[in-house]
Amino acid sequence: NSAVFPGQQGGPLEHVIAGKAVAFKIAASPEFKERQQRTLAGSRILAERLTQADVAAKGISVLTGGTDVHLVLVDLRHSELDGQQAEDLLAQVEITVNRNSVPFDPRPPMTTSGLRIGTPALATRGFSEEAFAEVAEIIAQTLIAGAEGNTGVLPALKARVLELAAAHPLYPELAKVSE
């Protein structure tokens, strides 16, 4: 059966071994540890902002009241927004998130009552706690505006996102190449 071959008796795949070696080397570095710490700090900052009274007043909450991992699951069951609407609103301000089902979700799977927001990409770009706080504020204001039907504020929020993105480029080393 497949538990024995290839599971236990299959030959070594050199590219897999090499990939693991590279991953282990990266994971053992101080830079990786620091990035993981920023990832967790960022998700906690985001969760804290999304549990404040102005957000809660719009029926928006964090599913577990906080987070201990790299993502925040937003509960929209009591909001005017559904997951699809919230995802689309945030896309309008250049923030990419995923709609996500929540426990006992009353909405269909393609609509959902949740929103999954991850922080690893921002930590990889070098976002500080202050930058994460700005992102959290933009997300909160976008969701509040959407729940109120006030999309007029979205262009200003998008400008703030673009400013943050410019300050934290995906490939900062490429700027040196063009100089």
The secondary structure of 124-168 as a DSSP string is: HTT--HHHHHHHHHHHHHHHHHHHHT-GGGHHHHHHHHHHHHHHS
Extract the tokens encoding 11: 């030959």
Block residue for tokens 């509040």: 144
Region 30-57: mean pLDDT is: 97
Tell whether the model's pLDDT for residue 5 goes beyond 70: no
Domains of the chain: 14-168 (3.90.1150.10)
Question: Helix, strand, coil shares of the chain as percentages rounded to 5?
Answer: 55, 10, 40
Helix residue ranges, H only, 57-128? 83-92, 120-124
Tell whether the model's pLDDT for residue 43 goes beyond 70: yes
Strand partners, 56: none
What is the reported pTM? 0.88
Instruction: Give me the helix-helix angle, 129-148 and 30-49, nearest 10°.
Output: 30
- 6-28 confidence digits (pLDDT tens): 666 666 778 888 999 999 999 99
What's the rounded Cα separation, in Å, for the pair 42 and 36? 10
Extract the tokens encoding 122: 């921002």
Tell whether the model's pLDDT for residue 84 goes beyond 80: yes
Q: Which of 82-96, 118-132, 163-177 has the lowest mean pLDDT?
A: 163-177
